[in-house]
């Protein structure tokens, strides 16, 4: 069962597989992300009701299912507004795009029957910019692109920073190694920028609240550099996409399932694009197949 913990002042945390934030002013609650599914929404509503708070707004940090899964239920029950950045809003309102985007074609029914890859649609009533004051609240958005298109973090007036999926906990990295990433270059820039942010407490969506994130930033950055070097090594001889994917699974002892396959394939493609743009890899075709090879000059 979800529960509500006070962090500071008017800022609360609902800890869970995906951490959620609540900021309350005058009995009105703004929710930061809405959990995995309808059941999360149901439990969130119960927690708010116990406190006598009404839900006025949900702000989604980005459009991944575990951050928006409670939207539809909560919006239906309370009529609350939902705010998100433009690209994320597109995915929130039309969640079939998520498996279609990950697969890169019409999604096979095994991808769409998986709730993890497809949330119930909800209506984004307010498209917000990635930075600055959020609507009529006292919350402030800051851009954290990389993990997904236009992901944002949120600062509350208590100087608590919700940093979404910009950082993964050490345990998750040592278990899964290859966290989902969309834009490697933007993500690396986001990690640098995170070092300059100050806050009383940082709250990542996965893991625990912490007053200090610099060590965790380095762990996350190191892991990405290691993946980059590994892919580069695999391509010393021309390699097919599936060979590189299999190599990563073998090295990191990853067992594929439907969800893992989609997330990993998409992430690997993003790394290949990054290495291509850096001119460390080049792509070529031979006898109806695409290959990636390390650029000898790099
Ligand atoms: Zn995410």
Whether residue 297 has pLDDT greater than 70: no
Contact present, 103 and 269 (Cβ < 8 Å): no
pLDDT-based confidence at residue 74 (cuts at 50, 70, 90): very high
* Fold exhibited by the domain 235-294: Arc Repressor Mutant, subunit A (1.10.10)
Beta-carbon contacts of residue 16 (< 8 Å; ≥ 6 apart): 2, 35, 40
Q: Pick from 125, 222, 105, 103: which is nearest to 173 by CA?
A: 222
Quick count: other Cβ atoms within 10 Å of Cβ 192?
10
- Ligand 1 centroid, distance to 136 Cα (angstroms): 26
16: DSSP letter: S
CA of 49 to the centre of ligand 1 (A): 28
pLDDT, mean of residues 268-291: 97
What pLDDT shows up at residue 162? 98
- Domain positions in the chain are 5-224, 235-294
Q: Which residues surround ligand 1, an ion (CB under 5 A)?
A: 64, 165
Give the dihedral sign, CA 275/277/281/283. positive
What is the spatial distance between Cα 151 and Cα 68, in angstroms, rounded to a whole number?
13
Closest CA relative to residue 3, chosen from 37, 51, 67: 51
Q: What percent of the chain has pLDDT over 90?
A: 91
What pLDDT is attached to residue 110? 85
Q: What is the CATH code of the structural domain delimited by 5-224?
A: 3.60.15.10
The yes-or-no verdict on residue 99 having pLDDT over 60 is yes
User: Residue 165: how many CB atoms within 10 A of its CB?
Assistant: 24
pLDDT digits (tens, 9 = 90+) for 127-177: 999 999 999 999 999 999 999 999 999 999 999 999 999 999 999 898 888
Task: Read off the DSSP letter of residue 21.
Answer: E
What ranges make up the beta strands (E) of the chain?
5-8, 11-14, 20-25, 28-32, 54-59, 81-84, 126-127, 132-133, 140-143, 152-155, 160-162, 201-203, 281-286, 289-294
pLDDT at 64 over 90: yes
Inter-residue contact 47 to 55 (CB < 8 Å): no
**Same topology for domains 5-224 and 235-294, yes or no?**
no
pTM (2 d.p.): 0.95
Helix ranges (H only) for 156-281 are: 170-176, 184-196, 214-234, 241-251, 258-277
pLDDT at site 175: 85
User: Whose CA is closest to 15, among 182, 195, 139, 201?
Assistant: 201
- How remote is the CA of residue 87 from the centroid of ligand 1, in Å? 14
pLDDT of residue 210: 96
pLDDT at 298 over 70: no
Mean pLDDT of the chain: 95
Compute the distance from residue 206 Cα to the ligand 1 centre, in Å. 10
Q: Does 113 score more than 90 pLDDT?
A: no
Q: How far is the CA of 238 from the centre of ligand 1 (A)?
A: 32
| Cα 29 to ligand 1 centre (Å) | 23
> By 3-state DSSP, what share of the chain in percent is helix, strand and coil, each rounded to 5?
40, 20, 40
């Amino acid at each position: 069962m979800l529960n509500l913990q006070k962090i500071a002042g008017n800022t609360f945390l609902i800890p869970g597989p995906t951490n959620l934030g609540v900021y309350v002013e005058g009995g009105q609650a703004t929710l930061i992300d809405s959990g995995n599914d309808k059941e999360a929404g149901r439990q969130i509503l119960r927690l708010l009701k116990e406190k006598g708070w009404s839900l006025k707004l949900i702000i989604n940090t980005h459009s991944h299912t575990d951050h928006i899964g409670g939207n539809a239920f909560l919006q239906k029950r309370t009529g609350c507004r939902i705010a998100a950045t433009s690209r994320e809003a597109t995915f929130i309102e039309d969640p079939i795009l998520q498996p279609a985007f990950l697969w890169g074609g019409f999604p096979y029914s095994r991808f769409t029957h998986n709730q993890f890859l497809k949330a119930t649609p909800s209506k984004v009533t307010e498209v917000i910019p990635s930075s600055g004051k959020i609507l009529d609240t006292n919350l402030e958005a800051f851009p954290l692109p990389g993990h997904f298109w236009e992901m944002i973090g949120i600062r509350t007036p208590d100087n608590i920073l919700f940093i979404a999926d910009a950082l993964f906990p050490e345990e998750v990295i040592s278990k899964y190694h290859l966290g989902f990433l969309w834009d490697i270059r933007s993500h690396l820039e986001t990690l640098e920028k995170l070092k300059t942010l100050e806050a009383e407490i940082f709250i990542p969506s996965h893991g625990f609240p912490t007053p200090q994130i610099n060590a965790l930033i380095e762990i996350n950055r190191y892991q990405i550099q290691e993946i980059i070097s590994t892919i580069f090594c695999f391509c010393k001889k021309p390699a097919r996409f599936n060979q590189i994917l299999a190599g990563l699974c073998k090295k990191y002892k990853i067992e594929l399932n439907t969800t893992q396959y989609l997330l990993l394939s998409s992430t690997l493609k993003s790394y290949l694009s990054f290495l291509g743009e850096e001119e460390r890899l080049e792509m070529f075709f031979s006898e109806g197949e695409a290959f990636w090879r390390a650029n000898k000059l790099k």
